[in-house]
Amino acid sequence: MAKIGLKAGGRFKSAVCDTQVMVIKAPAGEFALACGGADMIAPTASGTGSPDAALSGETLIGKRYVNADESLELLCTKGGKGTLTLDGTPLEIKQAKQLPSSD
C-alpha cells in the first residue's frame, strides 16, 4: 500500500468501484487511503479490477466517513461498492446531529 499526504479539498476515487471522496479534514503525515482493498487514485486516473469481497461494505453518497479519533473526515461525493479504509482500518460513518433547516 502506498502512503500519501492528505489535505482538505483533495479528491480521490476508488480504483475498483464507483466511489469518490473529498477530504474535509486530515491530520498531517502520510497514510494508505484505500477503497475496496485498493489504493485510491486521482479523480482523473482510471483503475481496473473489483473490490475485495471482504471490503465491499458499500460507501454512501453524502455520508461523511471518519477514523476512530475523527482526525480524518472524508465526504463521499459518489457512492460505490467498496469500503473506505485508512491504513487498513475501515472508516465509520460520522453520526452528525441534524440541525433544523435555517435557510
Q: Which residues bind another protein (CB under 8 A)?
A: 8-9, 11, 22, 24, 61-64, 75, 77-79, 96-103
Across-strand partners of 85? 34, 90
CA-to-CA separations, 57 to 17, 28, 60, 86, in angstroms, rounded: 12, 27, 10, 15
In whole angstroms, the minimum distance from the beta carbon of 33 to another protein comes to 17
Q: Is 32 exposed, middle or buried (0-12, 13-18, 19+ CB in 10 A)?
A: middle
In whole angstroms, the minimum distance from the beta carbon of 84 to another protein comes to 16
In whole angstroms, the minimum distance from the beta carbon of 65 to another protein comes to 12
Spatial CB neighbours of 84, under 8 Å, sequence gap ≥ 6: 19, 21, 33, 34, 35, 59, 65, 74, 76, 90, 91
Nearer to another protein by Cβ, of 54 and 102: the residue is 102
Nearer to another protein by Cβ, of 29 and 97: the residue is 97
Nearer to another protein by Cβ, of 37 and 72: the residue is 72
Nearer to another protein by Cβ, of 14 and 37: the residue is 14
